[in-house]
Structure 1
């Protein structure tokens, strides 16, 4: 709640809106659940009291090295204990946590260091080239500390923590709008932008996630991490920490599905955050039938809509434990939710097929045309949102901010419609739509039809230039293991299911689709791969 005071004109003058520093979550857990496990990785377990002590020591060391309120701390790391500590330690001193996708190249990380104005760099031991490149190209970086054992950097986080062991460090006072996290978006053009997340905003996000995605979560639950903590999984684990839920990491960076299910059974895991492609891999792996996963209550998937056939397969294997949410990094996931009860395992007249759910608590969604006019139910337009979860804007990027907001609404760039009951349906990214012969084509609609073929496991359809039609669709398919299908067979199968103008011009078959570091299949990467293989030239020659 805002603190206010009357002014002589009879209005209300706003003053500082002090909020809880998010690092206080650890203090709360250490007080109430100090001896309970808070973090489990391989054969190591840390209690909440131990975590608070390590984070306080790291915060003290960072502060002694000159990191203060508002300073940006760039973190390039694989999932591990000290990466998780770095988030809370950065919050604690009032600085800004700037995590990157650990799969980025050295030059890409250097670009993020420059664009964020980072003052310090915490780099995992496996990336010496990244440390060297960032230090060489970014004069604003005053020092590099390593996470793990390696011959680079001023020192290691382990040594900093040891040197400051036992030192208490009080949380720095923060206001609602003080930044705590720069959340890098992948961007439709491939150039990342830093979404500014604040302490006040993230307090709402944590509360909302617990309310809408996993109600009833307590310290008796357990959460498995199968995605990078730098993005959505990190937000999810912050929410788990707010309820003193232990975070469990896979023992290695490799996504070992058998090990994931073994850990679910061993620790009686109740929730996990994932994306549709990873969930699909989990469900289709033999391990799903080998290990007990009856403890699971919430498998939360986001990042992209899940194809209906994959959704039904997951429900058949795991039961009604799926939770879908729709929300970009700029709104930190808080736009819509589809809870387990509304995930119908079978198609039927009452099934909510294709929806990403209804508005999140405290959030409002509007489907708007290009002029900002709100559309009627079932009319397709851009999905826009307002509410306390919307970010503060892109860091030092006024042009992007001007495009992202209109009349206070955040413009997601996703197209969709809303039905009369307020359920939202995503048609696709505005950038994914292509125009063929004057007609708007939304690839997702056709992709859903392709995936009903029993031999197709994955598909991505993109629009490419065509001299006759302006653009045409190209489908890139991945056959299920042990199955084969020809271009002609798929075309014949699809001909009875979609209008001729929506039919892809070509079908290609690859061993796998290109995926981002977060398990998504960006259409931009599919187009890049088509070009790299010379297939776009081949299509153009055939058209000519």
Structure 2
């Protein structure tokens, strides 16, 4: 049976929108609006200049930048060239950036102001790096982004995007590397076309050119996927002026631009809704506040719903599945517990995706039985770049294995118990930290909690609960609170109180860092 291997270059999406809504805003920051026509022209100018300078289909473009217009544009430049976009989290160290540059085989690098020492680290580790582009002032031997814009202006009208197939890579989505070195998940043109369509259908139905999206997370990862979805419908992205979260500025922008959607992580939702600023501005335009990266603790969920109304949308999905595993839509978010609320669930399978709970032998487990969460469907990535061992491990029995543990209820809703790597065994019993953390966080004095299994001479492992509190609360009071709510064998052996939790660049509590700090501070008995 014959078919067509070629698919639309995903970069065409930007140009389609630029033709449809040329004068509408596409990117807004500090009151400056950039139209879709302007963005499209800039992207094709830079792409044309880079093609003239030898950047070809399949080449890797490493980007190390804070959120800004060139970072946003660089994805489309890479896509249209048929190159691979390799964005970093700007908060990583130069050594980590050097690893991303060398492991990806980057031939070009775009970097932001004041980050030239990252370029030096990448150069040292990456013999393939030939072209370096500065967003601000270039150093000797480097190009400037503005120079490329100027070079390509005469060429942009004649520029045509590279021909691509479904499986041609467009984005190396690096995992956060909580264990071992980060791995490059390969996202492709065909796969991402499905992901974008699915996000519109399942997360933001009704998205249009009149919509506005507030960007409160790095465009290098989940917020970048969200930005692509908004571009697909001509919805403008709005960036705060500040690189750090400013809750007052965020809510002011929601009011000023009638923002109807934003993507973030649960810790940021918590900060936004606990800030006094939430009551100072009109946020009635908000329709979809989408959170992912971790389930939201019930106490925080209730608070956010009481402040904002029924606008929360949760999705669950790793970078390897580009967020496309489950969705818990707004109508399943209730401030009061009820059967419809599906408290503790991360939702049902996304359209076109299948979720199963498997045991170690690959057998599907019955309703309510915990096992590994596995998924298949068109959103699953094509594998890790140059990592056959990791691919062999994650693709087994015809499924992608997430490494997360959970179960399905009788209606097909998924409940995550925890990471397989988070589970610990105390006295022969499996203990899942997530369950204990949920109960601790429902205590009025506890604002953050992380439970870890630490070595124990008697029990093999025992639980340590690191907590952040707003008021003094004794160990005895906490145990008394746990007593009617959780089995005694799951109780933490020790409570450790810190002023703040270490978090990743994406706002997630990082247990690897917590474990290291516990040992470093000699807080382990």
TM-score (norm 1): 0.95
Which stretches in structure 2 are left out of the alignment for 5+ residues?
none
CA deviation after TM superposition for structure 1 residue 176, in Å: 0.3
Distance, in Å, in 2 between the alignment partners of 1:16 and 1:351 is: 44
Distance, in Å, in 1 between the alignment partners of 2:231 and 2:140 is: 32
1:258 counterpart residue number: 248
Match of 2:237 among 242, 247, 254: 247
Q: Does 1:375 align with 2:365?
A: yes
Distance, in Å, in 1 between the alignment partners of 2:254 and 2:197 is: 25
Q: Does 1:34 align with 2:7?
A: no
1:58 counterpart residue number: 46
After superposition, give the CA deviation of every residue in 1:414-470 in whole Å (9 maximum; x if it has no partner): 000001110000001000000000000001111111111111111010111101000
After superposition, give the CA deviation of every residue in 1:199-248 in whole Å (9 maximum; x if it has no partner): 00000000000000000100000000000000000000000000000000
Q: Does 1:165 align with 2:174?
A: no
Check conservation: 1:135, 1:144, Cα contact below 8 A: no
Distance, in Å, in 2 between the alignment partners of 1:454 and 1:153 is: 58
Distance, in Å, in 2 between the alignment partners of 1:30 and 1:170 is: 15
After superposition, give the CA deviation of every residue in 1:87-110 in whole Å (9 maximum; x if it has no partner): 001000100000011001111100
Distance, in Å, in 1 between the alignment partners of 2:338 and 2:282 is: 30
Distance, in Å, in 1 between the alignment partners of 2:340 and 2:47 is: 53
CA deviation after TM superposition for structure 1 residue 16, in Å: 5.1
After superposition, give the CA deviation of every residue in 1:267-309 in whole Å (9 maximum; x if it has no partner): 0000000001111111111100111100000000000111111
Q: Does 1:522 align with 2:510?
A: yes
Q: Does 1:421 align with 2:428?
A: no
CA deviation after TM superposition for structure 1 residue 191, in Å: 1.6
Structure 1's consecutive aligned runs of 4 or more residues displaced over 6 angstroms after TM superposition are none
SS in 2 for 1:371: coil
1:542 counterpart residue number: none
1:210 counterpart residue number: 200
Which stretches in structure 1 are left out of the alignment for 5+ residues?
6-14, 540-544
CA deviation after TM superposition for structure 1 residue 493, in Å: 1.9
Larger deviation, residues 347-356 vs 447-456: 347-356
After superposition, give the CA deviation of every residue in 1:310-354 in whole Å (9 maximum; x if it has no partner): 111110001000000000000000000000001111013443110
SS in 2 for 1:535: coil
SS in 1 for 2:233: coil
CA deviation after TM superposition for structure 1 residue 495, in Å: 2.5
2:134 counterpart residue number: 146
2:443 counterpart residue number: 453
Match of 2:172 among 182, 186, 193: 182
Q: Does 1:298 align with 2:282?
A: no
CA deviation after TM superposition for structure 1 residue 152, in Å: 6.0
Q: Does 1:385 align with 2:375?
A: yes
Distance, in Å, in 2 between the alignment partners of 1:524 and 1:153 is: 40
Number of residue pairs the alignment of both structures matches: 523
Q: Does 1:197 align with 2:187?
A: yes
5 Å-filtered alignment, 1:484-495, equals: 484-495=472-483
Distance, in Å, in 1 between the alignment partners of 2:30 and 2:338 is: 44
Match of 1:330 among 302, 309, 320: 320
Distance, in Å, in 1 between the alignment partners of 2:475 and 2:214 is: 40
CA deviation after TM superposition for structure 1 residue 125, in Å: 1.6
5 Å-filtered alignment, 1:329-408, equals: 329-408=319-398
In structure 2, the CA distance between the partners of 1:522 and 1:153, relative to structure 1 (3 Å rule), is farther
After superposition, give the CA deviation of every residue in 1:167-213 in whole Å (9 maximum; x if it has no partner): 22111111000000000001341420000000000000000000000
Distance, in Å, in 2 between the alignment partners of 1:162 and 1:458 is: 50
SS in 1 for 2:271: helix
5 Å-filtered alignment, 1:493-512, equals: 493-512=481-500
5 Å-filtered alignment, 1:58-137, equals: 58-137=46-125
SS in 2 for 1:202: helix
Distance, in Å, in 1 between the alignment partners of 2:14 and 2:487 is: 56
2:220 counterpart residue number: 230
In structure 2, the CA distance between the partners of 1:150 and 1:533, relative to structure 1 (3 Å rule), is farther
TM-score (norm 2): 0.98
Check conservation: 2:332, 2:340, Cα contact below 8 A: no
Distance, in Å, in 2 between the alignment partners of 1:131 and 1:468 is: 50
Distance, in Å, in 1 between the alignment partners of 2:149 and 2:460 is: 60
CA deviation after TM superposition for structure 1 residue 135, in Å: 1.4
Q: CA RMSD in A?
A: 1.1
CA deviation after TM superposition for structure 1 residue 535, in Å: 1.3
Distance, in Å, in 1 between the alignment partners of 2:84 and 2:505 is: 22
Distance, in Å, in 1 between the alignment partners of 2:153 and 2:463 is: 60
SS in 2 for 1:164: helix
After superposition, give the CA deviation of every residue in 1:58-114 in whole Å (9 maximum; x if it has no partner): 101111121110111111111000011100010001000000110011111001111
